[in-house]
Amino acid sequence: MKISYNWLKEYVYFYLSPEEVADRLTKVGLVVADVKPVEDDFCLDIEVTSNRPDCLGIIGIAREVAAAVGGSLRIPEIHFVTASDEISTFINITLEEPILCPRYTARIIRHVTVESSPEFIQKRLKCIGLRPVNNIVDITNYVMMQTGQPLHVFDLDKLTEQKIIVRKARSGEEIVTINGARRALFHDMLVIADSRRPVAIAGVMGGKETEVSESTRNILLECAQFEPRQVRRTSRALGIASDSSYRFERGTDPEGIDRASQGAVQLFKDHAGGEIAGGAIDIRTGRHETKKITLRMERLHKVLGVEIKRDVAVDILTKLQFTVLNDVDNFIDLEVPSFRGDVYREIDLIEEVARIYGYNNIPTKTSISIRGSARSKYEIVEDTIRRFLTGLGFYEVKTFSIVDTSPLQSVNLWSDKGSIDIANPLRQEESRLRTSLLPSLITTKRYNMDHGTERVKIYEIARIYLAGNTLPEEKACLAIVADTDFLTLKGIVESLFQNLGMPLKQEWTGFNESKLFLDERSASIQMDNTVLGYLGEVTGELGFKTQSCLAEIDLDILIEKSLFAKKYQKIPPYPPVFRDLAIIVNEEVTWSSVEKCVAEAKAALLKEMHFFDVYYGKQVPAGKKSIAFNLCFQAQDRTLTNEEVDSSQKIILDTLYKILGAELRKA
């Protein structure tokens, strides 16, 4: 909210420069974002939090200044004389919706002269960024800015049958608002109507047909209280936000209505002439109940961590216009002023005291009790992966979880349940929760290609979102994109598994996802009948200039399978014996079947087996291939003899022959 410095000084006594006031206000929670000189005045732009509608009027700000700097408040007195004609002879008001409009008041001034408003009003309105219109409109704005209470003026002669009915809109009704827009109204909206039609959207905006014009002679001043949520809903539904709706939806002071109305009437009389009809219409359901709250000194101390003396607290609360009701040492009974709807509990009083006492005067405690904290397995796994990949030269990236609906982004390796759409997206580009990290990493690679970095090694750890019952499944994944060949990335992933303490007993089986992978060059990785992830070479369709591979791995399963407890294995004191073998098999025989076959041979002395080459060519018959590998034999209790190794090797070769028809390749 913007306020005028000179105007503020009219209501509270202080000797502070605009910057000094700004600093004090900021320290009590009214952040002054800007102080700007305007002619011989200053405009202070204040950020008022949504719980403080009382500060949406300059008197409210003056109250805060008074409490913060100790100056006294000077709220002007109101005097005016009324004519003998009673208001009821000019208007008939019916309140049909007492819950949505707890209080409705009206005053009437007849024979006004509509002209420019006096200079002091124009100057102040201009200072805070409002455009002067005419004396009537300017005065309603002036009083709203002064008190925080919105007001509205109708041209009395344009109200059909001199009637005001506060009711809900009827279906099919319309209104042209003062800004010239035609609005269709709905039956749950509250309107101010005459006998024929709506003349204002309650608390939001008035109608064009009944607004004050140069020919206006008689006016009706409305000053009311509207239920905040109702105003908010209507304002949102119609897309109209006004100074008035802004205040009503935050809650106005039910007891401030009459004062605002009287203040406006006095200004009308002074600056637009005419005569004030006797009395006022004031329809309300029940009275405002004054809240009473007790503040325990011991609780104040406990919450703030500093002992504030009772008389200090009393002084603060009194300046904020709370009424102290008792005089006992250890607690304060208080009455809450009607404009402080936000204060209804002891904790709210504690905040009031703390605010004015000064947050910066509360001590900063430098010790805290001991409590152990350990990294969870999730964090250990995540950190291990990051360190591992960082060491291998991978960069971590972060990409958006909300993506577009392109075919690439619809890739879903994990589920066939479909994706989750945003109901209120800002743009089509961000309208769906992603089901894979890989499309975003591909985009990132492409971005870097276009910006001069041809080769990348990147990864992301983030969640993907798979449609579920009520809440989706949020699966944490690790995705990798690297300019390597298939086996290099496979090796990286296998080393990663080992780093996480997982045994290397994964099954790699063929898997197709043609939007991402080259056919026959992609695999699903499984372990104990669970899918760990997918890995494959990038399809040419993606237009990469380099050979690239992708992998997406389920992080939650890695967490489950990882094992960080390490048990020492005795280092064998006797030397191993190595044998290099090459076998000739049919070309469709896979390495994993060779491995399995060797395992089946159960050669007792075999310790390890390592692949080193596969060969097609002249020395190998057509339809066959040669697979070369290295066998390591070792015993814990002796040095092996050649004969022992030979017989163990023979068992292996025999099994390979029996199961796979493998022949030993002669050099």
Q: Is the dihedral of CA 109, 112, 118, 122 positive or negative?
A: positive
* 660 token code pair: 């796979």
CB 108 within 8 A of CB 221: yes
Answer yes or no whether residue 228 interacts with other proteins by CB under 8 A: yes
CB 189 within 8 A of CB 169: yes
CB 480 within 8 A of CB 459: yes
Least distance from other proteins to the Cβ atom of residue 250, Å = 5
Site track 55-94 with other proteins (rule: CB under 8 A), x = hit: ----------------------------------------
Least distance from other proteins to the Cβ atom of residue 239, Å = 14
Least distance from other proteins to the Cβ atom of residue 232, Å = 5
Least distance from other proteins to the Cβ atom of residue 478, Å = 13
Q: Which of 197, 217, 288, 463 binds other proteins (CB under 8 A)?
A: 463
Show the DSSP H helices in 392-540 as ranges. 438-450, 486-499
Answer yes or no whether residue 244 interacts with other proteins by CB under 8 A: no
Least distance from other proteins to the Cβ atom of residue 587, Å = 37
Answer yes or no whether residue 189 interacts with other proteins by CB under 8 A: no
C-alpha 338, offset from chain centre: 33
Question: How far apart, in whole angstroms, are the C-alpha atoms of residue 80 and residue 68?
Answer: 33
415 or 593: whose CB is closer to other proteins?
415
Q: Which of 326, 470, 529, 642 binds other proteins (CB under 8 A)?
A: 470
Answer yes or no whether residue 249 interacts with other proteins by CB under 8 A: yes
Please list every residue from 340 through 399 that binds other proteins, using CB under 8 A. 345, 347-348, 350-351, 354-355, 359-360, 362-376, 378-379, 386, 389-399
Q: Which of 56, 62, 458, 606 binds other proteins (CB under 8 A)?
A: 458
- Which H or E run contains 632? strand 624-633
Question: How far apart, in whole angstroms, are the C-alpha atoms of residue 485 and residue 505?
Answer: 22
Q: Which of 168, 319, 340, 457 binds other proteins (CB under 8 A)?
A: 457
Answer yes or no whether residue 51 interacts with other proteins by CB under 8 A: yes
Pairing of strands 457-466, 395-396: parallel
463 or 607: whose CB is closer to other proteins?
463
CB 523 within 8 A of CB 584: no
330 or 364: whose CB is closer to other proteins?
364
Least distance from other proteins to the Cβ atom of residue 226, Å = 13
CA distances from 32 to 27, 210, 302, 356 (A): 10, 38, 31, 16
Site track 306-335 with other proteins (rule: CB under 8 A), x = hit: x-----------------------------
Least distance from other proteins to the Cβ atom of residue 359, Å = 4
CA distances from 338 to 86, 123, 331, 583 (A): 29, 31, 22, 94
Answer yes or no whether residue 50 interacts with other proteins by CB under 8 A: yes
Relative orientation angle of helices 58-69 and 310-319, to the nearest 10 degrees: 160
Stretch near other proteins under the rule CB under 8 A, chosen from 168-176, 226-234, 256-264, 328-336: 226-234
Q: How many CB atoms lie within 10 A of CB 366?
A: 5
Answer yes or no whether residue 456 interacts with other proteins by CB under 8 A: yes
Q: How many CB atoms lie within 10 A of CB 458?
A: 19
Answer yes or no whether residue 243 interacts with other proteins by CB under 8 A: no
* 163 token code pair: 């009637």
Please list every residue from 2 through 31 that binds other proteins, using CB under 8 A. 26-29, 31
Question: How far apart, in whole angstroms, are the C-alpha atoms of residue 133 and residue 125?
Answer: 10
Which residues are within 8 A (CB) of 148 and not within 5 positions of it... i.e. 6 or more apart?
53, 54, 55, 56, 57, 59, 60, 247, 252, 253, 256, 339
Angle ∠(423,428,433) on CA atoms, nearest 5: 60
Angle ∠(506,512,515) on CA atoms, nearest 5: 125
**Among 531, 570, 550, 572, CA closest to 414:** 531
Least distance from other proteins to the Cβ atom of residue 103, Å = 20
314 or 402: whose CB is closer to other proteins?
402
Least distance from other proteins to the Cβ atom of residue 399, Å = 6
CB 175 within 8 A of CB 207: yes
Total residues binding other proteins (CB under 8 A): 86
439 or 472: whose CB is closer to other proteins?
472
SS3 232: helix
Please list every residue from 394 through 453 that binds other proteins, using CB under 8 A. 394-402, 420-426, 430, 433, 444, 447-448, 451, 453
Q: How many CB atoms lie within 10 A of CB 228?
A: 18
Stretch near other proteins under the rule CB under 8 A, chosen from 48-56, 207-215, 500-508, 519-527: 48-56
Which residues are within 8 A (CB) of 504 and not within 5 positions of it... i.e. 6 or more apart?
494, 497, 498
Least distance from other proteins to the Cβ atom of residue 465, Å = 6
93 or 462: whose CB is closer to other proteins?
462
120 or 378: whose CB is closer to other proteins?
378
* 304 token code pair: 């703030």
Least distance from other proteins to the Cβ atom of residue 312, Å = 16
123 or 232: whose CB is closer to other proteins?
232
CA distances from 418 to 208, 298, 348 (A): 50, 57, 48
SS3 662: coil
382 or 513: whose CB is closer to other proteins?
382
Answer yes or no whether residue 239 interacts with other proteins by CB under 8 A: no
Least distance from other proteins to the Cβ atom of residue 388, Å = 10
Question: How far apart, in whole angstroms, are the C-alpha atoms of residue 397 and residue 410?
Answer: 20
366 or 569: whose CB is closer to other proteins?
366
6 or 26: whose CB is closer to other proteins?
26
Residue type, 483: D
DSSP labels, 355-417: HHH-GGGS--------------HHHHHHHHHHHHHHHTTPEE----SEE---TGGG--SS-SS
Q: Which of 465, 517, 534, 544 binds other proteins (CB under 8 A)?
A: 465
Question: How far apart, in whole angstroms, are the C-alpha atoms of residue 70 and residue 287?
Answer: 32
Answer yes or no whether residue 504 interacts with other proteins by CB under 8 A: no
433 or 594: whose CB is closer to other proteins?
433
Least distance from other proteins to the Cβ atom of residue 44, Å = 14
DSSP labels, 625-658: EEEEEEEEE--SSSPPPHHHHHHHHHHHHHHHHH
Stretch near other proteins under the rule CB under 8 A, chosen from 115-123, 228-236, 257-265, 642-650: 228-236
28 or 127: whose CB is closer to other proteins?
28
Least distance from other proteins to the Cβ atom of residue 633, Å = 35
Least distance from other proteins to the Cβ atom of residue 330, Å = 16
Could you tell me how many helices (H) and strands (E) the chain has, helices first? 17, 33
CB 310 within 8 A of CB 297: yes
Least distance from other proteins to the Cβ atom of residue 661, Å = 45
Least distance from other proteins to the Cβ atom of residue 480, Å = 11
Answer yes or no whether residue 291 interacts with other proteins by CB under 8 A: no
Question: How far apart, in whole angstroms, are the C-alpha atoms of residue 281 and residue 89?
Answer: 11
